Amino acid sequence: MHNYSFSWLMNLGHKVPVSIVGGTGYSGEALLKILLRHPAVRIDRIYGQANAGKKIGEVFPAFTGVLTTTIEQYHLTDTGSSELFFLALPSGHAMEIVPELLKANKKVIDLSGDYRLRDARIYKQYYGQAHTSHELTHEAYYGIPELDGAPGHGLSLVANPGCYPTSAILPLAPLLKEGLLKNDTIVINSLSGVTGAGKKATQEMSFAEIDSSVKAYKVTGHQHIPEIEQALSAFTGKNVSVTFTPHLIPIRRGIYTTIVADMEGSVTSADIAQTFQEYYGTKYFVRLRGEQAPEIKHVVHTNFIDIGWNVDAVKKKVILTSAIDNLIKGAAGQAVQNMNILFGLPEETALH
């Protein structure tokens, strides 16, 4: 593993060459926008099967005159000079190419769900297919930087967390860890903009179907349920169980999550504030809103998560709320945050 430091990169003018596989989706576009302003990164290649042969500006006109890269079809035998690959692919595709990238001594940050779940049986249950390289899951770093800190020396594979899990895990983890909440009566409801479903055109994602409406989906079997439970259980050392219901709302981007949990004993708003301050007081991308509920409009196009809380002392309930941009803190921004940590750069580089 290269022992990078920010000062070394900047003083010698070294830029880490990176490629994006799946660079023409929503997360890929968000990645490109961030990486173009990153002082320590050089965009090497952009891969996209459907748009291969086109200039990136033909797919995303905003890049015209800014980036002239031609989109390529990805081939396992040609990984170029890139040191790091971002995989912004639908789940089920990353596991086909990650083993070869690691054999070629490349570093990988996977934005899909392929390397998040430790149990191959649960992966098959929730993703509907067998995992072909599941042994690598145990080598992957599940990267929520605010909780897990820096990845270990020599790390090559980062499993970037899902957008819904990020919005739920960060509010819950400290309170569960410190014994303020019961770990088996947690109810999570999340509202997401339509970009969270990816770019593939379907009738249910069309404007005519979504406009002026709200609907729940995958009510009992969403793939992020085991991800949330696994991450919280690992962090707290407790067997955490959640009920999670996602909803689609007629906005382009953003996630709003409301969590209701039973208190463990007597808990006050001040107790919650103190716990959050201990865990997140020095974390740049976590903004604590107290009893003021966060709003999506304050986090879109940023890598922040805003967290609010209220206490119902009569019913002995804690209500947590959070807001993130699903394409930034929920995907591309957190991926770059993990990249910064991986290469010894300040976490907030290019993410202000």
Question: What pLDDT, in 10s, does the model give residues 313-325?
Answer: 999 999 999 999 9
User: 240-292, pLDDT tens digit by residue?
Assistant: 999 999 999 999 999 999 999 999 999 999 999 999 999 999 999 999 999 99
Report how far residue 249's alpha carbon sits from residue 191's, in angstroms, rounded to the nearest whole number.
Answer: 6
pLDDT value of position 80: 79
193-204 average pLDDT score: 72
User: 164-182, pLDDT tens digit by residue?
Assistant: 999 999 999 999 999 999 9
CA–CA distances in Å: residue 136 to residues 52, 234, 253, 312: 29, 18, 32, 44
Tell me the torsion sign for CA atoms 58, 60, 66, 67.
Answer: negative
Is residue 164 within 8 A of residue 180, CB to CB? The reply is: no
- Please give the model's pTM, rounded to 2 decimal places: 0.93
Report how far residue 284's alpha carbon sits from residue 256's, in angstroms, rounded to the nearest whole number.
Answer: 20
The backbone torsions φ and ψ at residue 95, rounded to the nearest 5 degrees and listed phi first, read -65, -15
Residues contacting residue 309 through CB under 8 Å, at least 6 positions apart: 171, 269, 272, 273, 276, 290, 291, 318, 319, 320, 321
Is residue 264 within 8 A of residue 179, CB to CB? The reply is: yes
**Which pLDDT band, with edges at 50, 70 and 90, does 150 fall under?**
low
Which DSSP state fits 105? Answer: T
Average pLDDT of the chain to the nearest whole number: 91
pLDDT value of position 145: 92
Give the chain's domains with CATH numbers.
6-161+330-342 (3.40.50.720), 164-326 (3.30.360.10)
Q: Is 341 helix (H, G, I), strand (E, B) or coil?
A: helix
Residues belonging to the chain: 352
pLDDT value of position 50: 86
pLDDT value of position 148: 76
**Could you tell me whether strands 242-248 and 157-159 are parallel, antiparallel, or unpaired per DSSP bridges?**
unpaired
Residue 75 has pLDDT above 80, yes or no: yes
338-350 average pLDDT score: 93
Q: Is 163 a catalytic residue?
A: yes
Is residue 146 within 8 A of residue 280, CB to CB? The reply is: yes
Report how far residue 84's alpha carbon sits from residue 20's, in angstroms, rounded to the nearest whole number.
Answer: 9
Which DSSP state fits 136? Answer: G
Percent of the chain residues topping a pLDDT of 90: 82
**Could you tell me whether strands 317-324 and 255-262 are parallel, antiparallel, or unpaired per DSSP bridges?**
antiparallel
Cα 210 versus chain centre, distance: 24
157-168 average pLDDT score: 97
Is residue 298 within 8 A of residue 279, CB to CB? The reply is: no
Which DSSP state fits 324? Answer: E
Nearest to 167 by CA among 346, 321, 351, 10: 321
Is residue 221 within 8 A of residue 296, CB to CB? The reply is: no
Tell me the torsion sign for CA atoms 74, 77, 81, 86.
Answer: positive
Q: Is 110 helix (H, G, I), strand (E, B) or coil?
A: strand
**Could you tell me whether strands 255-262 and 242-248 are parallel, antiparallel, or unpaired per DSSP bridges?**
unpaired
* Stronger pLDDT, 153 or 350, i.e. the higher one: 350
At 115, which helix (H) or strand (E)? Answer: none
Catalytic-role residue among 30, 163, 248, 299? 163
User: 296-305, pLDDT tens digit by residue?
Assistant: 999 999 999 9
Residue 8 has pLDDT above 70, yes or no: no
